Structure 1
Amino acid sequence: MTMRPGRVHALHGFIGSGKSTLARQLERELPALRFSPDEWTHALLGADPPEDLYRPALAALLRLFQAQWVQAACLGTDVVLDYGFWSRRERDELRALCAQHGLDLRLYRLQASDEVLWSRVEARNARVSAGQESGSVWINPWDFQQFRQHFQPLDPDEPCAVPGSR
C-alpha cells in the first residue's frame, strides 16, 4: 500500500490579510497540522517582544517547524504554514523543498487594501491589549509601514489559489 504524501498549504499575505483565520479554518476542515509562528513567539516572548529577541527566536522556530512539517507531510498529513511568505526567495525555496520531497504545494494569496489591513491590525491589537486574544503579536503603525516595504506580492508566474478553493 502506497501512502499519499500530505499537501502543503502555504499562506501568502501581509499583516492583517486573514492568514491566521484561514489557517485555523483549513486546520479544522481538511484536517491539517497548523504551524503558526506568531502563536509560538507570543507564548515564548509575549505579545510585544523586543526586536533583538524576536528575530532570532523566529528564525529558530521556522527551522524547527520546517523539520516537523516536512516530516508530517511526508507521512501523509496535510500541513498549513501560516507564515506569510513575503519574499519571492522564500516562496521559491518553499517550492524547491516541496518538489525535493514530492509534496504537493497549494499557495493561497490573501490580499486587501492597506486601509483594511491596518483596520484589522488595530482591532487585533485592541483584543491583544484587552487579553481577549492570545497567540498574536502587537504591531504598531511604524512597524506596519516598515514591514510593508519588505512585502513582495506574488509575481504573475507564481501559481496560487484564492481562499475557498482547494
Structure 2
Amino acid sequence: MTSLHLMVGLPCSGKTTLARQLETKYSAIRLTPDEWHIRVFGHDFGDNMTEADELKHDSRHDAVESLMWEVASRVLILGVDVILDFGCWVRSQRDEFRSRANNLGVEFKIHFLDVPEEVLLERLEARNVMNQGETFFIPKAKLKEWMQIFEPPSPEELETSVDLTNEERELPYQ
C-alpha cells in the first residue's frame, strides 16, 4: 500500500540523511523544503536576522511546504510513496498530516529521530562549517530555542511509525 512517510526531528538529527535512504528503499519521492527554498529564494536565514527577516523567511518556507504538499498528494494518489522531510516539531502538525494521509486512503508512517542535545549541537557546528549549499546556516541559539518548542511524538503517535533499526537511529550527520 502507498505510504506517506513523515520525518520527525530537530535540525541536525539526521532526517534528510535517513530520508535519502528511505527514498531508495521505498522507490519514493523525497520532498525536503530546505533544498527547494534555497534554490528559489537563496540562503535567507542565519545570523543577525531581524524579526522582519525571520518572518519573510518563514512565509517563504510555508509557501514551499504548501507547494510540496500539492505535489505529494498527487504523487500519493498515483500510488507512489512520499517522504516529507518537514521535521513536524509539534503534534498538531503530525496529526494534520495523519489526517491528510487518511483522507487520501494511504498509510501514514512516522520516522522519528531522537537525538541528544549534545549530539545535535556537535552536528550543528559541523553542518555550519561545511555548509554544502543545500542547508541553511543555523545559529546555535536558534537551535536551542527550537529544542524548547519541540514536542517528541508520544507512544500513541508512534504506534503507526516504523520501528527504526539501531543502524538507522545512529546515522552519522552528513
TM-score normalised by L of structure 2: 0.85
| Greater helix fraction, Structure 1 or Structure 2 | 2
Determine if contact 1:110/1:162 at 8 Å carries over to the other structure. Answer: no
Residue 147 of structure 2 is matched in structure 1 by 148
User: 1:48 deviation in Å?
Assistant: 4.3
Q: Residue type matched to 1:73 in 2?
A: L
Query: What's 2:48 paired with?
Result: none
Report runs of 4+ in structure 1 exceeding 6 Å deviation: none
Give the Å deviation of 1:53.
2.2
Query: 1:46–1:137: 8 Å Cα contact kept in structure 2?
Result: no
The alignment covers a number of residue pairs equal to 157
Unaligned ranges ≥5, structure 1: none
Instruction: Give the TM-score taking structure 1 as reference length.
Output: 0.88
Give the Cα separation in 1 of the matches to 2:11 and 2:136: 11
Quick one: which of 67, 71, 81 aligns to 2:84?
Answer: 81
Correspondence for 2:99: 96
Structure 1 residues 15-30: aligned runs within 5 Å: 15-30=11-26
1:67 aligns with 2:70: yes
Q: Give CA-to-partner distance per residue, 1:18-65, whole Å, 9 cap, x none.
A: 000011111122211010001112222333434132111111111111
RMSD value over aligned CA atoms?
A: 1.5
* 155-164 or 134-143: bigger deviation: 155-164
Aligned to 1:134: 133
Aligned partner (choices 13, 19, 40) of residue 9 of structure 2:
13
Q: Is the 8 A contact 2:31 2:82 kept in 1?
A: yes
Letter in 2 for 1:22: L
Q: Which whole-Å CA distance do the structure 1 matches of 2:118 and 2:40 have between them?
A: 30
